[in-house]
Amino acid sequence: MDFDYATVHGGVSSIFGQDVDIGKGISDLMVTNLVKDGSYSVIERKALDKIMAEQNFSNSDRANPNSAAKLGKLLGVDAIIVGSITTFGNETKNIGLGGAGNALGGFGLGGFGHKKSKAIVALTARLIDVDTGEIMAVAEGRGESKRESTSFLGGGGHWAGSGAGNVDFGSSDFQNTIIGEAVKAAVDQTSTQVIADKDKLVTRTVVVEGLIAAVDGGQIILNVGSKAGVKVGDQLNVERVSKEIKDPSTGKVIRRIATPVGVVKVTDVDDISAVATTVSGTGFKTGDAVKTVTQ
C-alpha cells in the first residue's frame, strides 16, 4: 500500500513547493527492494489500483490493517504491507512538520535559511495477515543524510519536479538531494527488516467450492467470485454428482458420488461470480460442482 503521510503532510509542500504524495514514492522504493531480493512475490501495481478504485478506497485508510486485509483478500495475496511516514524533514520537528516554512527552521524548496541541517526520514511498516487482519511483523527504518545543506532538495542534487505532485523517488537526481538520501536509507533499512520477517508469512491454502450457475455459449458462469478466493487464471475441476448415499435411519445424505466432467479456467471475476472457459471436457451443465485447492 502507499504509505500514510498524514502526520508530516503539512511540511511536504514547504519542502517541495507543492503537495507531493511521498507515501507513493516510499511504497514504490520498497516494492523495488522486495522484487530485487526475491523473497516475496509482489503483485503488479495496476492490480492493486484496480481493486482500490472498485472499492472506493480512501487515502485515510492507507494504514488501516482491516481495510488492507479486505483488499488483500480480494487480490488473493497472502499478506499486504501498510506503513506510515513519521518523520520527513529534520530534527527540529520530528512528527508533524507543520504547514509554515518557519516550522522547518527555514529549510525548504528555496533554501532561504542560513543554517545547515541534515535531512531525517523515519518509517514504520506492518505486514498484515489478509484473513485475520493480524499484524504479523513490524519493521522500522530511520534514515539520515550524510551531508548537510540549507535546502532539503539541495546538498548536491539537481532535483526537478515532474508536475502534478509527482516525484520519482527512485531517480538519481532525487536521491542525490539530502532528503532523497535520507529517504533511501530509511526505506532500505525498513525493507531489510521486512525481508528478515519472511518466515512469519505462511502461504494461504484457499479451497474454492461452488456451482456452475449458467452455460452461455463458450462461457461458463460460476456462483463464486473473489470473496471465495477465486482469481483470474485459476483452474477449477468440474464434477457432476451421479449418486447420493443416504443414511437409512435418518434419510440424510452422507456421501455424494461424483464423476469428473472437465476443467475450466477463470477469465473474469467479481465479488460473487466468475466467468470461465473450457480447458478440457464437454457437456458442462448448470448445477455441476466446481472445486479446486490453490496456493
By percentage, how much of the chain surpasses pLDDT 90? 47
* DSSP category for residue 232: T
Stated as kind and residue range, the H or E segment containing 51 is: helix 45-54
Kindly tell me if the per-residue pLDDT of 22 is higher than 60.
Answer: yes
Going from the N-terminus, what domains does the chain have, and what CATH number goes with each?
6-200 (no CATH), 206-294 (2.40.10.410)
**Residue 66 corresponds to which amino acid?**
N
Kindly tell me if the per-residue pLDDT of 100 is higher than 80.
Answer: no
Radius of gyration, CA atoms only, the chain? 25
pLDDT in tens, 128-180: 998 888 999 999 999 999 888 878 886 555 555 544 456 888 888 888 899 99
pLDDT in tens, 53-64: 888 888 788 888
User: Bigger pLDDT: 195 or 46?
Assistant: 195
Q: How many residues does the structure list for the chain?
A: 295
Residue 102 pLDDT class (50, 70, 90 cuts): very low
Question: What does the DSSP assignment read for 177-209?
Answer: SHHHHHHHHHHHHHHHHHHHTGGG-----EEEE
Kindly tell me if the per-residue pLDDT of 81 is higher than 80.
Answer: yes
Q: What is the average pLDDT value for the chain, to the nearest integer? A: 84
Residue 107 pLDDT class (50, 70, 90 cuts): very low
